[in-house]
Every structure is written in structure tokens, then in C-alpha cells.
Amino acid sequence: MSGSLERTRRRRREGLDVVVVGGGMAGAAAALALADEGCEVALVEAREPEPWRAEDEVDLRVVALAASSAQLLDRLGVWDDILAARACGYRHMHVWDAENGAVLDFDAADLQRRDLGWIVENRLIQQCLWQALDAADVRRHCPASVERYTADADGVRVHLDDERVLDARLLVAADGARSPLRAQAGIATRGRDYQQRGVVAHVRTEREHGYTAWQRFLPEGPIALLPLADGRCSIVWTLPEARAREVLALDDKAFRDAVGVATDFRLGPILETTARAGFPLRLQLAERYADARLVLLGDAAHAVHPLAGQGVNLGLRDVVELRDTIRDARAADRDIGSAAVLRRYARRRRSADTFDARAFDGVERLFGVQWSPFVTARGVGMRMLNRMGFAKRLLAGHAAGTLEPNPK
């Protein structure tokens, strides 16, 4: 009997190069990118993603994809499908301060690009990535979750809740902001709870959005109008917890009026609105991005304020760095899960992510100060920056993740 059980266990074991845990955008992209580099990859996810259908209402969860993210998705073979389905490029960004009237304008032409970025539904991106997994020979384990893992000098052994055992050289934790793998590795996080919520909805405005991302900084927090492919705008409105609950409880007319006032009726009155939702905001950074044969990626490594719309882009830049690190290690015939290899990824991405997260946190604090002399000085600084073409190009290029020519 014991021999039969042992043979069964042996049959249920899989030898791999990489196990990616978490099938969100960052995790699925990592699985595809590493498979593209010739790695044997398995993806573990607890739930199948919700299907995206063109006839459905636009998903409330949208992201502003930067040029660097578009380049990665193009390399993975899914970008054309995303563009063909439903995506809206934005060519301009207009930012203004409600307290002093100062403005910042960004234009794609300054970077010799057609678009600064694209507003795309989370669900659409994830579906396109998942549809590409089979063609890339990524082994999917879904529904499944990790019960535990062990790591040693020879590799990592991942025990799933269906009794399957995966042996690999590297384990990638892309399992979200509350990452169980991060907790099992004993990696702490630091940051702060903003005591704010992001209120999201889609609205139709009297005037066209002009393929422009609009953002107004108010004393309570910023509000953004992001252009959608159907002519509407997605709003992301940052509010203190109590005020967010009030706004979420408003009837549709009162909500439309509140959004109109908050955006200074820049696109005219708000004519229609969808249902709305709210999500808590928190700054969170992992103390380290690597452990024995384990790396953190995406939300498992960092969660940032949404005011710059860079959360997903940071996660996809993690993917690019991990892909490049693994590629170089394989070319040098090195163990892809060794501490020396993972140290390179961890050092580079944690440094970059920390810089961006602290920058977004600093902006949130900057516009939260309402002391009159400071508000005046802030306005002077914004007006000066708006006249400095070179500085604005650097900011826009950093947000795009590249200063290279357009992706496809």
C-alpha cells in the first residue's frame, strides 16, 4: 500500500524551472515572459478570471498603461488583441490645483509619441494574457493554492492543496498585497494607511474628453477623469474614508452634481453615471524582494497611491526586470534561483519601486497641505515647471517607463 501511494505521489510531481503563484496581470505576464525565454513554467491561481465580453458594461476597474507596459504586452503577443477589443489612448494630460489655479500640461508630441498611455479594463488585459498561456505551454493549476513550500540548495518544492507537488528552481510570488507566500517567507512590509478610499465610476460628460487625462487636486484629494473608448470617462476620486462613504451613498443625480463640482465642470455637466465602488488606499513596500529561491513581484512587493496611475505599470516593470535577470543567468549557465541571481532583481526593482512609491506619497502630502503661504509657493513651483519643457519631458518619460520610440 505504501509503495502504491509513493508511486502516486511521484506521478503527481512536476519538474519545472519556475512556479508563478498568482494569475493576475503581473503574475500571468511573468509566466508568459519566462516561458518566452525557454523556461518550463507553471502558474498557480485560486480562481479562473472573470471573462471579458465586448457586450458587457465597461469594467469599473481600469488602468492607465504606460508605454513600457505596452511594449511588454506587445512582446508577449497580446497587445494587438487588447487594442482591437477596447482600449483608449490618451494624448494629453492636464493637471491643475484647485487652491491656486496652477496647471501642468503634458503632451505626447513632446515625447514624439502618438499616445502618453492607454486606459484599459483590468479584466480585458487579464483575459488576453490567460488566453496566451496555453500557446506558450504554461502549465496552469487552477483552481489551486499553495499550502506550503520548502527551499534548499537544489531547488524549491511547492505543495498545492490538491496534493500535487511542483519542483522548480524558482518560486515567484505574485499573489497580491496580502501575499501568503511573502508571509511564509517572513518578509515584513512597511508603509501607511492613507485613511482614504478611491471612489470609481464611469460618467458621460457634456463635452468630449478630447483623449485627455484630466486630474484636479482638491483639499480632500485628487479626482481624475480618464478617457474611455466609448466616449465616457472613468473617474477615480480620492477621498477621506468618511467623505467617501457619503459620496458612495448619494443618489445618481447628487453624485453627478458632486463630480461636476469636483472637476470644476471642466467637461461640462455630468449627464450619466454608472454604479460606483470604493477601495481602500495604502502605501505598502516589502522590506526585501527576495528570499531563498523566492522573489516578490507586483502587489506582493508594493502597493502605491493611485494618484499617478502607476501601480500596474510598476508590476509589469518588475516582470521585465525578472525576465532580463533570468535571461542573463541562463545565458551564463547560472542557477536561476541562486541568491546571487535573485539579488540583482531584488536590488534593482526595490530601489526603483521605493523611489516611485515615495514620490507618489510625497505628491499626496504636498497637495494635502492647505497653509496659505505653502499653497502659494506650490502654485509658483507648478507654473515654473510647466514652462520647463526639458523637465516635463523627463517627468513624462519616467512615467512612460521609456524614452524610446513608440511601441506598435
CATH number at residue 180: 3.50.50.60
Q: Which pLDDT score is estimated for 12?
A: 53
Consecutive H or E run containing 157 = strand 155-160
Q: Which pLDDT score is estimated for 408?
A: 37
Which cell goes with 295? 522573489
pLDDT band at 308 (very low <50, low <70, confident <90, very high): low
Residue 164 and residue 157: Cα distance in Å, rounded? 10
Percent of the chain residues topping a pLDDT of 70: 92
Q: What is the mean pLDDT of residues 344-358?
A: 91
Residue 7 pLDDT greater than 60, yes or no: no
Q: What is the mean pLDDT of residues 326-353?
A: 96
pTM, two decimals, is: 0.91
Q: What is the mean pLDDT of residues 349-375?
A: 83
Q: Which pLDDT score is estimated for 110?
A: 86
Residue 303 and residue 326: Cα distance in Å, rounded? 24
Residues whose CB falls within 8 Å of the CB of residue 97, separated by 6 or more in sequence, listed in order: 103, 216, 217, 367, 375, 378, 379, 382
Q: Taking a C-beta distance cutoff of 8 angstroms, is the pair 35, 138 a contact?
A: yes
Q: Tell me whether residue 164 is in a domain.
A: yes
Q: Tell me whether residue 160 is in a domain.
A: yes
Sort strands 92-97 and 41-44 into parallel, antiparallel or unpaired. unpaired
Q: Tell me whether residue 260 is in a domain.
A: no
The residues that bridge with 286 in the sheet, in sequence order, are: 189
**CB neighbours of residue 328 within 10 Å:** 13
Q: Tell me whether residue 327 is in a domain.
A: yes
Residue 234 and residue 226: Cα distance in Å, rounded? 5
> Domain of 135?
11-88+116-191+282-364
- From the list 297, 304, 266, the residue with the least C-alpha distance to 63 is 304
Percent of the chain residues topping a pLDDT of 90: 77
Residue 364 pLDDT greater than 90, yes or no: no
Q: Tell me whether residue 54 is in a domain.
A: yes
102-127 tens-digit pLDDT: 999 999 988 888 999 999 999 999 99
Instruction: Tell me how many degrees the CA angle 204-205-209 measures, rounded to the nearest 5.
Output: 100
Dihedral Cα 370, 371, 377, 380, nearest 10 deg? 40
**Comparing 407 with 31, which gets the higher pLDDT?**
31
Q: Taking a C-beta distance cutoff of 8 angstroms, is the pair 59, 123 a contact?
A: yes
pLDDT band at 4 (very low <50, low <70, confident <90, very high): very low
Q: How many CA atoms lie within 13 A of 229 on its CB side?
A: 19
Q: Taking a C-beta distance cutoff of 8 angstroms, is the pair 79, 86 a contact?
A: no
Q: Which pLDDT score is estimated for 252?
A: 97
Q: Tell me whether residue 226 is in a domain.
A: no
The residues that bridge with 202 in the sheet, in sequence order, are: 234
Q: Tell me whether residue 128 is in a domain.
A: yes
DSSP 107-138: EGGGGT-S-SEEEEEHHHHHHHHHHHHTTTTP
Domain count, the chain: 1
Q: What is the mean pLDDT of residues 73-82?
A: 98
- From the list 90, 368, 324, the residue with the least C-alpha distance to 212 is 90
Cα distances (Å, whole numbers) of residue 34 to 100, 127, 140: 48, 18, 14
Q: Which pLDDT score is estimated for 306?
A: 78
The residues that bridge with 21 in the sheet, in sequence order, are: 44, 173
216-234 tens-digit pLDDT: 999 999 999 999 999 999 9
pLDDT band at 62 (very low <50, low <70, confident <90, very high): very high
Q: Tell me whether residue 255 is in a domain.
A: no
